[in-house]
Every structure is written in structure tokens, then in C-alpha cells.
Amino acid sequence: MAEYSTGMRLKLPIVCIVLEVILIILFGVLVEYNEDTDAHHWHENKPNKTKQPDYENEFYYRYPSFQDVHVMIFIGFGFLMTFLQRYGFSSVGFNFLIAAFSLQWATLMQGFLHGMHGGKIHVGVESMINADFCTGSVLISFGAVLGKTSPVQLLVMAVFEVTLFAVNEFILLSLFGARDAGGSMTIHTFGAYFGLMVTRVLYRENLEKSKSRSTSVYHSDLFAMIGTIYLWMFWPSFNSAVTHYGDDQHRTALNTYYSLAACTLATYAFSALVNHEGKLDMVHIQNAALAGGVAVGTAGEMMLTPVGSMIVGFLAGTISVLGYKYLSPVLESKLKIQDTCGVHNLHGMPGVLGAIVGIITSVAVSTEAYGKGLKDVFEFIGDKRDTSYQAAMQAASLGVTLSMALLGGLIVVDCMFAGFILKLPIYGAPPDTLCYEDAIYWEHVYYFWT
């Protein structure tokens, strides 16, 4: 490999230190513990609680779900992207960096928009989960530009994507009153189409020169399957993490469980079907088998029924495999969208499918099916809106999400940053001849396969 200097010795330290100093100052001024975390408030309210008040702390209800979501963010997403034969360090390492920054910035952005208390942002285990959700959206976008950007570019992208994510989330959940517990719209659709817009703006005309590095080998695919298995196992926790306690959370986990199982069968079936020799494609297994978790994110807490979840999962696995096989090559050749991980097939299309399922399930709401649990799922139905209005808000939320992701990615990234900042040579991005290459950013890189 020809020697190439990225100049990261100064660029990366300056950006990391400046961003963290800003975060520390903002946290010091604006952030404080919530009532379940603050010693004074928690113990002051003890007389009003039961004989075992400590076990009523939010921590014991939410932390197991947070732990699963956290594993998905740092291990699941990180290892899923190690399929590139010479980019394993960067896949896991840059995932780690972006996530660590994004969860801090997301805490502030979501706190600003979702309600401050006495001029302060209150943090607890639920805010940690929500920050991880936002981080997941950024990592989805990272998958679209994987191998073609520097860590400094990725941090700059994260600054603005987190901000737009928080705005979009506020519009959908607070203004429109949409339901999207598992984030089919807010997380997956937004992250996928934002990332696709960024990778389109950063199009590399001569990326073909790095084609030999853009493929996988036996060992790298095996590492990527570690990420797949972790994500597949913990996805029920992801979708149910912030739903209401009780039947809502139980139902969301169960719907996701069956959707993922049906999706996996569809993935294997269509992977073999679209191959002329009937062989399975590891790219399909690593990615499309997860689409069921994405597609049931919006309607997971609704009375979707187990069989409904299985149908959704089967459809998600089908469109994901077909997307990898037939649509991705068209997007690259015709629209110049170089989607490294195929996030359009795993997160984009299944996310839109999930939003549509949410719209249909909202229309079908009945008091007979939900009983007294209706208000837990649909807070405004009955008092301020009927089922048709709720479905309209769900549809409007999908439209707003796509607009925020595409137009936000285009206007913010293209006009302000990609066209003026992200494309400048100051960030140490790899040249077209050295994309998907660890050695330009990491020392002691030894390859045991080529």
C-alpha cells in the first residue's frame, strides 16, 4: 500500500477535545439528576412510597432494557460493519467514537426539545435509552458512508444529524402525537435516508479503484455475524425499552420476537431463490434477517397480534433481500448512491414498511381490542381525535421524517457542509484509491487474509 498521510495527529485531537469541552460546559450548566436519581429528592419522597421504596426506582424497571440497547449500539452495530476485509478496526473503532459523542450530544438536544424542568435537563435511565436511540440513527447513517470518510468527518456529521433527529422526534412524538416506540420512523427511516443523502453528496467518481477492498472474506463475514446475532437477540428489548410498563412492554417484545423469527425464514428462502445455484448469500443473512425488528418498530406496542407480526416480518425479510439483490446496484449505477452497508435495504425500506403498518393498525383501533389499555397506546384517541385522525398523524409523521432526512441531508450537508466543509481536504478523508483501508488511520495493522 502506498504511503498516505491523513494528518490525524492534530485534526482528530483538536475536534475531540473541543467537542468534549463544549459538552462538559453545557452539562455543567444545564444537566442535573432527575427525581429517581437525585439522593435528596428520592429520599425526601420515601414516606409516600411503599415499604420497599428502593425497588420502585425507575432503574429497576428500565435498566435491563437499557443494557440490551447499549449492547446493540456498541457491539451489534459495530461488529455488523466488520464485513469489509480490511476495515475491521475502523468499523468497530469509529462506531465506538461516534456513539460515545452522539449519546452525550443527544442528551442535550433531546432535553432541550422534550421539556426542561426549571431551566434544567433532567437525566435518568430513560434519557440514557433515548440518547442511545438517537445514536443508533447516526450509526445507521455511518453504515452508508462506511469506508469513505474520516473520523473527523463522521463527528461533524453526527453534530448535525443528532440535532435534526431531535427536531424530527419532537415534531412526530410531541406535536403530532404519533406512536413510534421502536423507532421505525424516528430512528431507522430517518437514519437511513439521511445517510443515503450524505453518501450521495459525497459521491466518489473513482471509487472503483478501491473495489478490491470493498468485499468481504470468510473471517470478516464471520465477525459481522457476531453483530447480527447480538442485534437479533436484543431487538425485542430495543423496541420495548420505552413503552409503558405492563402489557404494552410485554406485547412489544413478543411482537418483535415473532416478527424477527418469520423474517429470518423469509431471508433464507429468498436468498436461495434469487441465486441461480440456490446458494445463500451471507450479506442477506447478516442484514435482511434483522429487517423484521425494524418493520415492527412502530406497531409493536399496538394490538398487532402474533400472526400480524409474523406477516410483517416475512414481508420485511422479503423486500430486504430483493433490495440487496436488485435495487442496490440500480441506486449506485443510476442515482450514484454508494451505500456501503445497504442501509436502504435493512433500515430504509423496512422502516417505511413499519410506518405503513402503524398507519393501518391505527385505523383498525377498537375499544373491544384494547379495553382500558387504549389510553396507554393511543393517548389522544377518544378525547381529541378519532382513529382516522390518528392514522393521518402517523402518515404525516412518515412524510415529515422522509422530508427531514432527505432535505435536511441535502440542504444542511450539501449546501453548508459537504459543499463547503466536508469535501475540503482538511479532514483527512481517504483518497479514492485507499477507501475501506484500516492502515491509513490505525497503526499495527496486520492482515491475515487479502
CA dist 160 to 157, 353, 418, Å?
6, 26, 12
Pairing verdict, β 31-33 and 121-123: parallel
Q: pTM of this prediction?
A: 0.94
Per-10-residue mean pLDDT of the chain, 450 residues long, equals: 72 96 97 92 73 82 96 97 94 97 98 89 96 98 95 93 96 94 96 94 88 90 96 98 94 97 98 97 97 97 96 98 97 94 97 97 85 80 78 96 87 52 66 90 69
H/E stretch holding 29 reads helix 8-30
- Residue pair 102/165 in contact by the 8 Å Cβ criterion: no
Contacts of 309 (CB under 8 A, 6+ apart): 254, 255, 256, 257, 258, 259, 262, 296, 300
Place of cell 433481500: 321
Q: Give the Cα separation of 11 and 205 in Å (integer).
A: 26
What burial letters (b/e) apply to 141-177, b meaning 16+ CB within 10 Å? Answer: bbbbbbbbbbbbbbbbbbbbbbbbbbbbbbbbbeebb
Sign (positive or negative) of CA dihedral 103, 189, 291, 216: negative
Q: Please give the DSSP secondary-structure letter assigned to residue 372.
A: G
* Residue 4 exposure: Cα atoms within 13 Å on the Cβ side: 17
pLDDT tens profile 276-311: 999 999 999 999 999 999 999 999 999 999 999 999
Distance set, CA 11 to CA 19, 27, 95, 401 (Å): 12, 24, 18, 33
pLDDT value at position 424? 58
pLDDT at 375: 80
